Amino acid sequence: MPLTGVALIIIAVAICVLVLTLIPTLLTIKRTAASVGELADMVKGELQPTLQELTSVLTELKTVSGGVAEHTEDVICLMSALGESGRNLRTINRAVGVVSSVVTASSVWTTGARAAGKYILDRYLKKRGGM
């Protein structure tokens, strides 16, 4: 056998071995491609409802944020009114404190004047009665 015949036999055997090893690889690649196709279909089927739900949530969120923005001025007005009410209550509290201290002082003065008047009257009556 000439050298070229041996080389051709070796090349033929190598090609057969290569084909035999490539067949399982090609079958695995085919199954992987089918699995990826099924996964893509599943993701597509699940993604559509999720996107629709996300769109409806975003619409509701826009509505709510619009309502909040609409009533922000009302909240600011309420907070301003509450602040003014607090200042008025402090003013009333100070006025009540002044009035209560005046009433307390006047009752002390009244009690003192009553006691002094009684004492003077007793002394006067004693002097007059004792003469």
DSSP for 13-50 reads HHHHHHHHHHHHHHHHHHHHHHHHHHHHHHHHHHHHHH
pLDDT at 88 over 80: yes
Identify the pLDDT of residue 8: 92
Of the pLDDT bands very low, low, confident and very high (cuts 50, 70, 90), residue 130 is low
Q: Is pLDDT at 29 greater than 90 in this prediction?
A: yes
- The string of pLDDT tens digits covering residues 89-119 is 999 999 998 888 888 888 888 888 888 888 8
| DSSP line for 48-105 | HHHHHHHHHHHHHHHHHHHHHHHHHHHHHHHHHHHHHHHHHHHHHHHHHHHHHHHHHH
The pLDDT tens digits of the residues spanning 54-77 come to 999 999 988 888 877 778 888 888
pTM equals 0.39
